[in-house]
A and B are shown apart, each in its own frame.
Chain A
Amino acid sequence: MRRRTFLTLAAWLVGTTSLTRATVIHNHVPWAPHPNSPPEIARPGPWQFFTLDEARAMEAIVDRIIPPDPETPGGKIAGCAVFIDRQLKGPYGSNQGLYTLGPHTKGTKEQGPQSALTHADLYRKALAALDKHCKSTQGGKSFAELDAAAQDDVLRKIESGEVKFETVDAQGFFSALLKDVPEGFFSDPIHGGNNDMVGWKMIGFPGIRYDYRDWVNRHNERYPHPPVSIAGRADWTPAKS
């Protein structure tokens, strides 16, 4: 390119970049440190979305979806309710990024969900309806106050469609639980679930160890190292004295 053309171009670039927020990339790799946002790490603490009653119901529910056993904690200890709480408080709860414009028409199964409700609204309405249902059929007890067998029975009836809620699609709520609870059990602990990487330890998933070149050719040998999270491992962090 002739020098004169280049100078004209450079002047134009300076002129136009100030007019727009979009970046103009010319004659350089637009490398910048940390252009991406690092993950937000869920902190322990009070419930952010659920009320105390909702949280009690959710902790009971997640312990029925993933019950404790002698080797591995259940959904409650694993933090699945905390995970869902943080998700519903965040962009997932408000359906951020999804196509939300109407008209909202119920279509065929193959056309996918068309509900106008956000995920947060779905949980709020369904948990209220669940307690109402339990109190009217179980001698005034809320879901969290039932014993495990009765809780399983209620959940099974919601799953099968035998129990319906007036205010919200009960089976749709159950489908959301079957997606969201295992996500809380198996996603990185930075999101508030999978406490102490219990979900990963249960199956032998090493987390984000990243480099398996030393193991790809060791066929039929169990990978020996314990998991690592994006936040590291608790035993790598010296205890405060």
Chain B
Amino acid sequence: MARKLPRKDVVIIGLGWTGSIMAYELADAGLDVIAIERGPWRNTATDYPPGYAADELRYRIRHELFLSPGQTTFTFRNKMSEAALPIRSWGAFMPPNGVGGGGVHWNAETWRFLPSDFVLKTHLTERYGAGFLPGDMTIQDWGVTYDELEPHYDRFEYLCGTSGQAGNIKGTIMEGGNPFEGPRSRAYPNPPQDQPFGHTLFGKAARELGYKPFPQPSGNMSRPYQNPLGVRLGPCTYCGFCEWFGCGNYSKASPQTTVLPALVRKPNFTARDNSEVTRINIDSSGKRATGVTFVDASGDEWEQPADLVVLSAYTIFNVQLLLLSGIGKAYDPAANTGVVGRNFTHQTISDVVSFFDPEKFVFNPFIASGAIGMCIDEFNGDNFDHGPHGFVGGGYVGQVQTNGRPIETTPVPPGTPLWGAAWKKAVKDNYQSAIKPGTGVHGSMYSYRDVYVDLDPTYKDRFNRPLVRITMDFHDNEIKQNKFLTDKFAEIFQAMGARQVHKEYRKAPYDITKYQTTHLCGGAIMGTDPGTSALNRYLQSWDVPNLFVLGASAFPQNAGYNPTGTVAALAYWAADAIRSKYLKNPGQLINA
């Protein structure tokens, strides 16, 4: 039997980027806020001190900063006709754990989506006709526009001290930036990071081919920075241990280095760590959340009553909690009914590994940061005419090599034996003169009727709750898109003078063992119609108006960018709606 704690105005589930941002905004509005986080509290300097943070085995290979699958995992199958089996060790993505969430160990690639991405269905239908889209594709408009989100993107970039070169300030195209981006109200707070040799070489070759290369927007500091909350970050040292790792140098934007130091000083904010929310409680009307139930590290169960519930866990855990709490109708792909679990997507990532003459090229691949890179955006979203190509979607491509960590990044030319003297020689000969961007092609994945999540009928977690079941496969549209982008990407490496260019296309079937990104999206999507979305345009539940659900679970489909900038902008957008509209008149903000 759960023991009941004193009521709070707001309970926040998960203290990563979105939970921290929302907690700050609502505490700032004077509300009494508690955040409940499954994992431990984490400090910047003391949890990953530079003296031993650079341990590739511990953090990259053994995944120390992540949720362990033993704590909870998912089941996976490609097709609805198959039996799903548990993901026993992480592969295609890495669920975060602990205060700061994925913001602790992300690359800090801080993108905005394109204006057309938010009105995707309308835009593509107008340009190409409805018949151009595959019949089972379920893309939707978001219900919010780029122009509405712009001030919130801007707030996040200034919170983080994002390093970058603006491409479009209030409609004026800026030299050296991304000419395809939506208009921004002002420049990035910091100039771009310095670019290592391989990255500048890519920029030069891309420019000579007629593209408009620009430095990737980066939450790794190009110089010391103090953000609007008064929190200071230090300059990045290009150590090459960024993504998968914590930054003990205060050089990477994370909740710990940007918002939490200001948040914890607010007397009306409390956090509980090592406590896992197991249920959102609903009253007998089914229309009102009364708070949450959680289990602490001792295994004791508690009830935290609250007037407003903010669900801000990782994508797929948001969906799991909605399903387990009976909030919203679960999606049924056969009947095509229900909203919770539909429009689940991931990403379509591929790479081109290039080998140069070791006599002429020394790249020092270990000199890098998590978000360093030179990119082009000509083939993202609908920046090019898809008519002749027979697919929709796209992505940015770039030399975004983040590391030369030798377990992960010792590429050898295709055809090299996997072991023995020839392998060893190839590793030695190519380490300094090969380029392996990792996620060089960062492509979109659009939504389909048979790609979704629901509760698994067989496998359980440590609380005996059903695991979330992922049913996912690539469709022809994504495979065509990836081939097109990978080929274009490879042409740039040829132009750089590589003597061998190896294209690693993303192929079907979707493989849960091959890492892509942790950018799972959808499952509890926002929209304009309660029949096809779980949330309205303010991320408010259509079914339970005192519940807001933050994170990439709201994306109706995935765009060809890293999601964190958009995830955070949506958190500010929802916080703004709560502060300016909901608190004055608690209830449904949109009448459907």
Residues of A within 8 A of B (CB): 1, 6, 12-13, 16, 19-36, 38-39, 64-67, 69, 72, 91-92, 96-101, 103, 105, 107-114, 152, 155, 159, 177-178, 181-183, 186-188, 190-191, 199-200, 202-213, 215-217, 219-223, 230
- Per-residue contact bits, chain B 248-265, to A (CB 8 Å; 1 contact, 0 not): 000000000000110011
| Chain A residue nearest to B372 in the complex (CB) | A216
Chain A contacts of B265 at CB under 8 A?
Answer: 27, 29
Q: List 27 A-B contacts (CB under 8 A).
A: A6-B267, A19-B300, A20-B297, A22-B296, A24-B272, A25-B271, A29-B260, A35-B41, A39-B55, A65-B419, A72-B428, A92-B62, A97-B68, A98-B70, A98-B89, A110-B513, A112-B85, A113-B89, A178-B419, A183-B407, A187-B407, A203-B410, A207-B54, A208-B54, A216-B195, A217-B194, A221-B362
Determine if A16 and B238 form an interchain contact, defined as CB atoms under 8 angstroms apart: no
Chain A contacts of B298 at CB under 8 A?
Answer: 20-22
Determine if B41 and A183 form an interchain contact, defined as CB atoms under 8 angstroms apart: no
Q: Known contacts being A1-B268, A183-B407, A223-B364, is A98 close to B68, with CB within 8 Å?
A: yes
| One of A24, A72, A110 near B512 (C-beta < 8 A) | A110
**Interface range for B:** 35 or more
Determine if B237 and A210 form an interchain contact, defined as CB atoms under 8 angstroms apart: yes
Determine if B432 and A203 form an interchain contact, defined as CB atoms under 8 angstroms apart: yes
Chain A contacts of B41 at CB under 8 A?
Answer: 23, 25, 30, 35
Q: Known contacts being A110-B78, A210-B237, A222-B362, is A98 close to B88, with CB within 8 Å?
A: yes
- Interface pick from B44-52, B102-110, B171-179: B44-52
User: How far is A30 from B261 in the complex, measured between Cα atoms in Å?
Assistant: 10
User: How far is A96 from B87 in the complex, measured between Cα atoms in Å?
Assistant: 15
- Shortest Cβ distance from A223 into chain B, in angstroms? 5
Chain A contact residues, majority secondary structure? loop
Determine if A183 and B57 form an interchain contact, defined as CB atoms under 8 angstroms apart: yes
Determine if B272 and A22 form an interchain contact, defined as CB atoms under 8 angstroms apart: yes
Q: Known contacts being A112-B512, A220-B197, A220-B362, is A187 close to B56, with CB within 8 Å?
A: yes
| One of B269, B428, B460, B513 near A26 (C-beta < 8 A) | B269
Determine if B421 and A67 form an interchain contact, defined as CB atoms under 8 angstroms apart: yes
Q: Known contacts being A23-B272, A108-B82, A223-B364, is A230 close to B88, with CB within 8 Å?
A: no
| Chain B residue nearest to A65 in the complex (CB) | B419
Chain A contacts of B428 at CB under 8 A?
Answer: 72, 202-203
Chain A contacts of B43 at CB under 8 A?
Answer: 29-32, 35
Asked whether B25 is an interface residue with its Cβ less than 8 Å from the other chain, the reply is no
Q: Known contacts being A22-B272, A110-B513, is A188 close to B57, with CB within 8 Å?
A: yes
| One of B70, B273, B410 near A97 (C-beta < 8 A) | B70
User: How far is A230 from B48 in the complex, measured between Cα atoms in Å?
Assistant: 13
| Chain B residue nearest to A177 in the complex (CB) | B419
User: How far is A199 from B48 in the complex, measured between Cα atoms in Å?
Assistant: 24
